[in-house]
Every structure is written in C-alpha cells, then in structure tokens.
Amino acid sequence: MPRLNGLELCQRIRKIETNNPPYIVLLTSRSETDDVVAGLEAGANDYIVKPFANAELQARIKAGQRMLELQGELKKTQDILTYEKQVIENIILKMRLSKPFEKSQLRLLDKPVEKISGDIVLSAFTPDRKHYILMGDFTGHGLMAAVGGPIVYDVFYTMAAKGIELSVIAKEINLQLLAKMPTGLFLGAIFIELSANHRVLSLWNCGMSDILVYRNHSLVHRVSSNTLALGIIKQDFNDVITIDAEGGDKVYAYSDGITEIINSDEQEFGQERFEQTIDEMLIDSKDIDYLLTTVNEFRGKAKQFDDVTLVELTC
C-alpha cells in the first residue's frame, strides 16, 4: 500500500472508538516471530504468512465471522442490561426523592461513583420535634449497594413519623436487612438524634468512621464505632452516646469514601488530612464544598473508587 503499511493501518483502525470493532486479518510475506508479534500488537486479530493455502484463509475468515457474531450477541446483551440498569436506577432515585427529607440545619456532600450511591442520608422530625438522622454506607457502590436503600427508607420514615424511639428504628432496620438482603451486603450506619430544644445529642455509631463534634471551631467529641454494622447479626442498639450540646455545635458523619481517596501517587487522603480540612473550613467560615474541592484536588486524575458522602448537622 502506498504511503501506509499494514501495521499503521491496523493502529489507525484501532484508534477509532466503536462498539462494533472489525476483525482484522493481516496477510503478509513477513514471517519472522518479531513481525507476527508486531502485527498482533498493532491490533490484528489474526496473521497469515504468504504463501498460504486458500482453504486455510477461508477457515480463518470463518473463524473471524464467528467471533464477530458472538461480539454482536454480546453487544445486544450489554445493551439490554444497560437499559434495565437505567430503569432500576431511575426507580430507586424516584423512591429517594419521594421521601420527606428534612433539610433543616443540615449541609450535605454527595459524590457517588455511579448514577446512584450506596451511601444514604435520611432526615426526619418526629411529632414531638426530635430530629432523627441516619447516615449509612452499604458495602460496595452503585446499583448492588443501592438496592437495600428502599428497605431502609420505608422503615426509617414510617417509624419516625410515629415518634418511635431511634434505637427501636435501628433494631427494625437491622432485622429487615437480615431478612431481605443477601449475605455479605450490610449497612454501616450512624444514627443521630437531636432533642427538640437542641441541647441533647444522642449518637449511635454502627461500623462507621468516627463521628466528630465541633464547638467553636475545635473538636470536642469523637465517637467511635461501638456496634456492628446492620444486616450482620441480630442485635440491640442500647450503646448510645449522649452529649450535652450548645447552640452552634456541628456534628459530622461521613463515609470512608472520603478518607480512603487515593491519588496517583498511591497516597491516601486519610483521617488526619480530613480533620485538618474541616478545621480550615470552620476557621475560615468556608462553604462545605471546600471539603469536596480539597478532596478532588488531592485525588487529581486518579479514579474515584467509592462513594463520597458527608452530612453536617448544626445544633
């Protein structure tokens, strides 16, 4: 071929983005091992050296045709699965939006890896004006992690509307997940209750990162996990941490998708850097998006592997 050889043509073809790539057979007089390797690395699917038998060429072309037919069937299956995934994602999103989320005194960060997140944040007032918050992190991310969300939403909002104690709600969510979710898919969760007069905080940490409580820009309480995540075993939720709150106190609950962010140098964002960023945000009275900006700058071009979620409650 003038001005272009077979290897260059293969390379150009493979640079074309397509969901239906061609099957390429190189027919050449070059027979050295290095030539064969170069042809396959350039993008050829098969390599035939001259002189060749016509029967062999026909057989290899038929093999390529079978490969393309299988490729076509795989593409059809992928299209069906993609469509069904989108339908399920939209159903879950609509279910989330239909719930009576109470935004009062809350600021949120939410950056999922996929369209829907395995992290959840629920918020509701009871009839006697207690503020209930649930921040949860299902194992994994994306659709598989999000399927348990509707179970949790229904239990949380239905029971909160009746004024049922938060520890009882946690116990019921745990039982429902045990009964309905597959083994190995569980929910790390933080439950927060703020009294009607905003002076008493009740905190449950079930398999999550430390809950942080700040007062006047300083960390004053750290509540570590003292209960297993939900959906593992039957358990009660009696190990509550009660804190006397003051007006302006801030409570942070977050998923480990923040602290475990990895940059291109394989460095982890980490708990220390995370808390330092919160300090800077509070001291300088910056918007909560400052935290997400800092995380993104640290990550750079590295891939995000887990959902990033944070909730800030102001007492």
Structural domain contains residue 1: no
145 with 190, same domain?
yes
Structural domain contains residue 123: yes
Q: What mean pLDDT do residues 199-228 have? A: 95
CATH of the domain at 264: 3.60.40.10
146 with 256, same domain?
yes
Domain count, the chain: 2
As a whole number, the mean pLDDT across the chain is 88
CA distances from 241 to 208, 214, 244 (A): 14, 15, 10
Q: What is the pLDDT of residues 241-269, one digit of tens each?
A: 999 999 999 999 999 989 999 998 999 99
Highest mean pLDDT (candidates 28-32, 63-67, 222-226): 222-226
Quick one: pLDDT band at residue 298, thresholds 50, 70, 90?
very high
Residue 77 has pLDDT above 90, yes or no: no
145 with 114, same domain?
yes
Rounded CA separation 53/60 (Å): 11
Q: Report the pLDDT value the prediction gives residue 98, as an integer from 0 to 100.
A: 57
16 with 132, same domain?
no
- In the chain, % of residues over pLDDT 90: 48
The encoded tokens of residue 185 equal 């898919």
Tell me the backbone φ, ψ of residue 230, rounded to 5 degrees.
-85, 145
188 with 145, same domain?
yes
Q: Report the pLDDT value the prediction gives residue 244, as an integer from 0 to 100.
A: 96
Structural domain harbouring 27: 6-87
Structural domain contains residue 201: yes
Highest mean pLDDT (candidates 30-34, 135-139, 228-232, 300-304): 228-232
Structural domain contains residue 260: yes
Nearest Cα to Cα of residue 198 among 137, 248, 152, 272:
248
Residue type, 266: E
123 with 53, same domain?
no
Q: What is the pLDDT of residues 79-105, one digit of tens each?
A: 887 777 777 767 766 666 656 788 889
Rounded CA separation 27/227 (Å): 66
110 with 204, same domain?
yes
- In the chain, % of residues over pLDDT 70: 93
166 with 17, same domain?
no
128 with 181, same domain?
yes
CATH of the domain at 52: 3.40.50.2300
Domain boundary among 49, 67, 87: 87
Domain boundary among 55, 87, 119: 87
Q: Which residues contact 141 (CB under 8 A, 6 or more apart)?
A: 112, 113, 114, 117, 118, 257, 305, 306, 307
Residue type, 162: K
Q: What mean pLDDT do residues 145-159 have? A: 85
End-to-end distance of the chain based on CA atoms, in angstroms? 75
43 with 162, same domain?
no
Residue 11 near residue 42 (C-beta atoms within 8 A): yes
The encoded tokens of residue 121 equal 């944040």
190 with 107, same domain?
yes
Structural domain contains residue 14: yes
Q: Which residue has the higher pLDDT, 8 or 158?
A: 158
Q: What is the pLDDT of residues 112-147, one digit of tens each?
A: 777 666 788 999 999 999 999 999 998 865 666 567
Q: Report the pLDDT value the prediction gives residue 89, as an integer from 0 to 100.
A: 67
DSSP alpha helices (H): ranges in the chain? 6-15, 33-42, 54-97, 143-146, 149-161, 166-180, 256-259, 270-283, 289-299
Structural domain contains residue 93: no
Structural domain contains residue 94: no
Domain boundary among 35, 58, 87: 87
Structural domain contains residue 92: no
25 with 130, same domain?
no
Q: What is the CA radius of gyration of the chain?
A: 28
